[in-house]
Amino acid sequence: MNKIFKLSIVTALSGFLLVGCSMGSNSPEESSSVESHGTKVHAHLTQEKLAHIVQKAGEESGWKMTEFKSDTFIAEKTDDDETVSATVKFSNTSLEIIPENDDLEDAIKDALAK
């Protein structure tokens, strides 16, 4: 009986420690951002603020940003005689640029870092 009591206490304490450790490990960086294609998007940003940041970052780096949907922009840039376009789809937890474009991604990363 004494062994069963000790075993149940050890099991209960282990369970509390495991639950407590997993709940306590949420640092601000872990809970407030997500990595997607190397671009960190902060979860505390509203979709409208993020749309403004994405549009402004693209335009400042020479891209013509056309809103396609509330969460999607069509980005176009002309260098010499060559036109490049990409679709930027985002939410408050992710950002995707199709096809990948380092120039546009870097501009958005820099704007998000501010």
- Number of separate domains in the chain: 1
CATH of the domain at 41: 3.30.310
Angular region, 37: left φ>0, alpha ψ -120 to 50, beta rest: left
> Is 23 part of any domain?
no
- Among 8-12, 46-50, 55-59, 76-80, which stretch is predicted with the lowest mean pLDDT? 8-12
Asked if the model's pLDDT at residue 101 lies above 50, the reply is yes
> Is 22 part of any domain?
no
In this predicted structure, what is the pLDDT of residue 114? 79
> Is 102 part of any domain?
yes
Residue-number span of the structural domain to which 87 is assigned: 31-113
Residues 27-44 have pLDDT tens digits of 333 333 434 455 556 567
Using an 8 Å Cβ cutoff, are 57 and 37 in contact?
Answer: no
Q: Is 88 exposed, middle or buried (0-12, 13-18, 19+ CB in 10 A)?
A: buried
- Confidence (pTM): 0.63
> Is 25 part of any domain?
no
In this predicted structure, what is the pLDDT of residue 97? 93
> Is 12 part of any domain?
no
